[in-house]
A and B are shown apart, each in its own frame.
Chain A
Amino acid sequence: MLGAVLAIFLIALAGGLAIRAGASIAGAASTAGERVPMLGGCAPGTHAWSRFHARWYPMALLFLAFDMEMVFMYPWAVVFVSEGPLALMEMLMFIAILVVGILYTWRERALEWA
């Protein structure tokens, strides 16, 4: 069945590339002036690519911790009913520790950046 999923992905991908190729009735804009990034009239002084200050990086670190937790939760969900209250308690304890992380990050105001 993963074959079907792969086929779906590839067909949709090809479709996206085909739409993008378009049926243009006019040529592409290609002079140096036509390529200038859009800033409302003025030209940029520099490239846009830069060491962009992603000020939410503490949040990204917090996300990593939770993303790992998610990996454990998928199999946990399947065996949850058969394992019973023990599974619930174990996961509750695990999550409670992670939630302390959220509270700490929040208290440090690390989720805000402006």
Chain B
Amino acid sequence: MIGSVVALLVLLAAGVVATALIDSAVGAVVGGEPVGRALKGPFTRSALLAVQGRTTTERPDAGTWRLAPALLGGLAAVGAAAVPLGRGLAAGDVPDGIVLFGVAMALVMVAVFLHGWSPNSPFPLFGAYRFAALALSYEMPLALVLIGTALPAQSLSVGDIVSSQAGLWNVVRQPLGLPLFLVAVAGLAFWGPLNVADAPDLVGGTAAESSGPALLAWRAARSAVLVAAAAMAAAAFLGGWNGPLLPGPVWMAVKTMGIVALVVTSGHRIPRVRLERFVVVAWVVLIPLALLDVFAAGIVAL
């Protein structure tokens, strides 16, 4: 057990580093700059944040401010623990993996809200409330499409869901599932077009008052959420460890980072959505589509 716990945390950390590298590389390509130099950026920037001094604000809620990045990272790790890397290789191989994942990801809202609320500063506060509206809109599609994948597996265990895709991956069997889940992944990590919480029009939103190590922890935790959610996407829709030639865990890593790359690239190409429009679209289009996905999956499974 200790081995699998350590392995999970190491892999998650590696995923965070890889995410930063992919983001830098894609940013350099989009910006028309040399990629080689950009790949050094995540390391030097992180080192700088680690040694920078701390700042605070007038009468912040210091305890919750300190807790928020750690909580976000902890929730990301729990979410990732529900996802098996190979047959029987889940650090937290609970029988109801997608419920555990859903619980951890629902609490992301708490971590992000605390991070924005704690500094007692207007822009973080706006970011916090924006994220709450965003989260209430993507939660439903997120959970529904996962339930859709549980129907053919007749189980809430992520391992069983992966096994049920040995013949045909869910991305084909439930074509609505992955696109909807990807929207939810971007929302969970408030990444790219759905980065309404830490947006430039709020000078960084919930992170506007964060500096140095606190900002480093926050960014790492946010990337960890992205990696955990991408791993779930790989397991639930892309057949998880199933794949020719390579060993299962390698397939999982490749698929996870593929999803991460997709979300990160969208962040460099698609502008930030208007939150109000997104809320309407989420309720009027995405949730009905997710319900359709569940019932279609049910009919196929029968």
Contact = CB atoms under 8 A, between A and B. Distances in A.
A90 to B, nearest CB: 11
A97 interface: no
Contact of A4 (B56, B92, B283, B301): B92
Interface of B is mostly: helix
Contact of A35 (B56, B82, B287): B56
Nearest to A43: B58
Contact of B70 (A16, A25, A36, A77): A16
A95 B81 CA distance: 31
B184 interface: no
Interface residues on B, range: 35 or more
Interface of A is mostly: helix
Interface in B120-138: 120-125, 129, 132-133, 136-137
Contact of B121 (A19, A48, A92): A48
Given A11-B5, A38-B121, A38-B203, A59 B143 contact: no
Interface residues of A, number: 73
Query: Which of A20, A29, A48 has most B Cβ within 10 Å?
Result: A20
A8 B125 contact: no
Interface string A73-107: 11001111110110110011001000100100110
Nearest to A28: B54
Contacts of A7: 1, 5
A36 B223 CA distance: 29
B58 A35 contact: yes
A37 B50 contact: no
Contacts of B123: 37-38
B92 A111 contact: no
B287 A19 contact: no
Interface of B: 1, 4-5, 8-9, 12, 50-59, 66-67, 69-78, 81-82, 91-94, 96, 98-100, 102, 117, 119-125, 129, 132-133, 136-137, 139-140, 143-144, 147, 150-152, 154-156, 203, 208-209, 212-214, 216-217, 220-221, 224, 276, 279-280, 283-284, 287-288, 291, 294-295, 298-299, 301-302
